[in-house]
């Protein structure tokens, strides 16, 4: 896809930027934008959201209501996404009044694992073997073709392990199909991987792509647990990850920030797992570790400004703070500040539920291993009494 031609002049500080979605990614976008001199309008379907505290304007209504969206678009210079699980039609409705970046077509492609996999295959971008299944009979045949173990995922609206089931033997097929609602799914081969990586990158109005260095990710219970950078892998692997991410953003025609998640197979092959058309949980460490954070980069990209420098200033690690940390009462936050190089980010969510992302801790240090050890120490400290 080509460059975004609906706006050739940069959008300068003082303008009102719209963000669709009110979660923590929208909040951190708003903080970065306001620090740069912009104003921010948050368009969301709930009053109680993290981004509301940082908004110059707050619009609360239904993403399916074109009248609400038209009113919210008044006075905006551009709109971006912080949350991809909104109707693609919402982006199209806003696009009638204001530039939307990334384009709603990007959202439409990445909202569906079926469409996303088809995009990767058509562009020759490496991904694991997979099959679209619409019936239990399709699933039976797909298992025969792909083999077990395999992972069955709903075609739409899955994240943090939601909407997926592991298939280890033929006896698992029926229960997995029923548990996922007998909806269209994608069966993916099980990748015996060395590690999981992500590359957050930005693409500007002129088509230029700037990537942050690859980030190594460790998950627990299907939720991102700890991210670290540098990823400490061979230079050719890291270079290929950045190249593939740039290819994805260019082929999708992204204007803004997106994240490409990879499996690194045992034979050093990189396989694209998922594409997120927005800033990403793994990129939070860029706030402390890089001259330009992923959120400032998002502002720069959608406003047509030069993209910022991404080379890390220091090794860093980020650990998610889930609602589980509140099980013994209010965490002992003072212990974070006793850890050298540690920074605390709380999202302002009212109810700490198990598995819910409530905040994160980032640590910068002399080495990646030191940063990972310190960030785990800081997180364990706040939840231990």
Tens digit of each residue's pLDDT, the chain (385 residues): 444 445 579 999 999 999 999 999 999 999 999 999 999 999 999 999 999 999 999 999 999 999 999 999 999 999 999 988 888 889 999 999 999 999 999 999 999 999 999 999 999 999 999 999 999 999 999 999 999 999 999 998 666 557 899 999 999 999 999 999 999 999 999 999 999 999 999 999 999 999 999 999 999 999 999 999 999 999 999 999 999 999 999 999 999 999 999 999 999 999 999 999 999 999 999 999 999 999 999 999 999 999 999 999 999 999 999 999 999 899 999 999 999 999 999 999 989 999 999 999 999 999 999 999 999 999 999 987 6
Length of the chain: 385
User: Taking the model in full, what pTM does it have?
Assistant: 0.95
How high is the pLDDT of residue 104? 95
Contacts of 106 (CB under 8 A, 6+ apart): 252, 253, 254, 258, 277
129-189 folds as Dna Ligase; domain 1 (3.30.1490)
pLDDT for residue 162: 72
In this structure, the number of other CB atoms found within 10 A of the CB of residue 39 comes to 18
Domain boundaries, the chain: 16-110, 129-189, 193-383
What's the CA gap between 113 and 188, in Å, rounded? 10
- Cα separation values, 89 from 64, 79, 94, Å: 8, 14, 9
According to the CATH classification, is domain 16-110 in 3.40.50.20? yes
Q: What pLDDT is stored for residue 7 in this prediction?
A: 54
Beta bridge partners of 384: none
Same fold across 129-189 and 193-383: no
What CATH fold (topology level) applies to the domain 193-383?
Answer: D-amino Acid Aminotransferase; Chain A, domain 1 (3.30.470)
Phi-psi region of 254 (alpha: psi -120 to 50; beta: other; left: phi over 0): beta
- Tell me 103's DSSP state: -
């Amino acid at each position: 896809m080509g460059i975004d031609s609906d706006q050739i002049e940069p959008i300068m500080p003082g303008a009102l930027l719209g963000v669709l979605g009110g979660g923590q990614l929208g909040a951190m976008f708003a903080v970065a934008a306001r620090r740069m001199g912009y104003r921010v309008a948050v368009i969301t379907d709930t009053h109680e959201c993290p981004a509301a505290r940082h908004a110059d304007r707050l619009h609360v209504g239904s993403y399916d209501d074109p009248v609400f969206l038209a009113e919210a678009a008044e006075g905006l210079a551009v709109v971006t996404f912080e949350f991809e699980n909104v109707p693609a039609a919402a982006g199209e409705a806003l696009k009638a009044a204001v530039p939307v970046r990334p384009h709603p077509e990007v959202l439409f492609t990445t909202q569906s694992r079926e469409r996303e996999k088809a995009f990767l295959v058509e562009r020759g971008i490496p991904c694991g073997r997979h099959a679209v299944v619409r019936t239990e009979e399709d699933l039976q045949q797909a298992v025969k073709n792909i083999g077990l173990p395999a992972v069955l995922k709903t075609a739409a609206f899955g994240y943090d392990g939601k909407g997926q089931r592991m298939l280890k033997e033929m006896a698992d097929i029926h229960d997995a199909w029923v548990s996922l609602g007998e909806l269209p799914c994608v069966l993916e081969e099980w990748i015996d991987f060395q590690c999981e990586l992500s590359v957050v990158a930005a693409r500007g109005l002129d088509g230029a792509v700037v990537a942050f260095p690859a980030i190594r990710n460790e998950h627990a219970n299907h939720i991102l647990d700890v991210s670290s950078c540098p990823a400490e892998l061979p230079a050719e692997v890291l270079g290929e990850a950045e190249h593939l991410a740039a290819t994805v953003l260019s082929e999708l025609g992204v204007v803004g920030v997106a994240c490409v998640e990879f499996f690194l197979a045992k034979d050093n092959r990189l396989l694209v797992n998922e594409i997120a058309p927005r800033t990403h949980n793994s990129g939070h460490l860029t706030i402390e570790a890089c001259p330009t954070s992923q959120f400032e980069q998002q502002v720069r990209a959608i406003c047509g400004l030069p993209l910022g420098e991404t080379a890390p200033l220091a090794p860093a690690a980020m650990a998610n703070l889930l609602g589980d940390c509140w099980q013994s009462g209010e965490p002992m936050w003072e212990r974070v500040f006793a850890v050298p190089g540690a920074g605390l980010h709380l999202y302002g969510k009212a109810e700490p539920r198990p598995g819910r992302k409530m905040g994160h801790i980032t640590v910068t240090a002399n080495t990646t291993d030191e940063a990972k050890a310190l960030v785990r120490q800081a997180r364990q400290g706040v939840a231990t009494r």
